[in-house]
Structures are given as C-alpha cells and as structure tokens.
Amino acid sequence: MPYHVSPAVIIDGTLYTLLVFSVATWTVILFKIWQFTKNSYYNRRFNEAFWDADTLEQAKKLPAELVRGPQARIAQRGFAWMDESQQSGGNSLKYRGVPSELLEHALLVQMQQEQHSMESGLTMLASIGSTSPFVGLFGTVLGIMHAMHEITASGSTSLDVVAGPIGDALVATAIGIAVAVPAVLAYNFFLRRVKQQRAGLENFVVSFTHIASNVTATAKE
C-alpha cells in the first residue's frame, strides 16, 4: 500500500464500491422482475389469440395490442420471411433450400435475439455475487492492518483498544456477503426463468414451422 494514501480512504472506497454493487444488483433485480412478468403476460395473451385463429392468415392479422412480446416477435419474423420468400420466387440464395428448414432457421435466429435480451444483466449479477465477498475481505484486511498500526502506535494491547478497530474492519466482510447473497439468489432464479421461457419459445418455433409447412404444402397442391 503506498504510504501517501490513507488506509481510511481505501477502506471507505471499498465500502462505497460495495454500495454501488448493491444498487446495481437491486436495479437489475427490479428490471428483470418487470421484464419477465411483462414477457409472460404478453406471451400468454398472444399464444391464446394465435392458436384461436382459424387460419394462419387470420393469425397474421391479429390486433396490434395482442402482437407484443417475444412470441409475437418470433411470429412476425416468420410471417415476414414467408412474404419475402414468396416475393423473391426462390431466386435469391437466401431462400434456396428446404423452405421449412429455412423458416425454422429464421425463427431460431429471432429466438436467440429474444434469449439474449432475457439474459441481459445476468452476467452482472453473477459477477457481483462472486466478487463482492472478496471486495469486502479486501476492506477487512486493510482495516485490520490499519488497526494494528494504530494499536502499535498507541503502545496498548488491552482488549478495549484492540476489539474496537478490528470489529469495525470486519464490517466490510459482512457487507460484502450481504451484497453477494441477493445477487447469487437472483441470478439462479432468473436463470431458471430464462430456461422456462426459452422452452416455451422453442415449442412455439416448432409448432409455427409445422403449421406454416402444412399451409405451404396445401397451397402447392
């Protein structure tokens, strides 16, 4: 530690860093709760409206208030691909191949974008959860070193003199753990929600591809 830098400044910097970590953690938690709640609501509404439609063409013309959320965006991507494929007449390399496989690929690309959106912020939670205890421990070590120097300078080794500074130094470790626990729990919870919503999107992709393939085959006949 450089001698021109006060240990108290470094310790305070450690505590302020943990404060920033805590604010960032709860900001991400609140945002992800809002995001997953909104996605679940929109997916449920769109899924019901989509499968209640009589034809794929009718599903394509659902009201705008129902066409929201990850599933709706995947469906819109599928409809857009089908329209572009018909307009190109198969002349473009982009649309050459087995139509069902090309459509599924386009849907999977959109699904990956939706998954990326759902996973945003989880890396931050994982990083905060894994590093906060060490940041707190760093502050504790510096605090104990600072306390030892003051005890040595005072020339007294009584319990009253030793316990106070060391106890204050241990607060940093406690704060580090307190910041890490919500981040780790939230990371595990949201990761499970990502997997659940991804499974729902995968099922929709398979179902949409199957329905679109049948409609295309019927139209050719």
What is the pTM (predicted TM-score) of this model? Answer: 0.81
Identify the pLDDT of residue 140.
83
Separation in Å, CA 6 to CA 14, 136, 145, 164, 169: 13, 18, 12, 19, 15
Six token digits for residue 108: 């999977």
Identify the pLDDT of residue 28.
96
Cβ-proximal residues to 8 (8 Å cutoff; 6+ apart), any chain: 146
Identify the pLDDT of residue 91.
66
Percent residues over pLDDT 70 in the chain: 83
Regions in the chain scoring below 70 on pLDDT: 1-8, 89-93, 95, 150-151, 154-165, 168, 215-221
At 79, the amino acid letter reads F
Identify the pLDDT of residue 3.
47
Model pLDDT for residues 77-92, shown as the tens digit of each residue: 998 888 887 777 656 6
3-state secondary structure 145-199: HHHHHHHHHHCCCCHHHHHHHHHHHHHHHHHHHHHHHHHHHHHHHHHHHHHHHHH
Query: What is the three-class DSSP state of 121?
Result: coil
Identify the pLDDT of residue 215.
62
Six token digits for residue 116: 């990326």
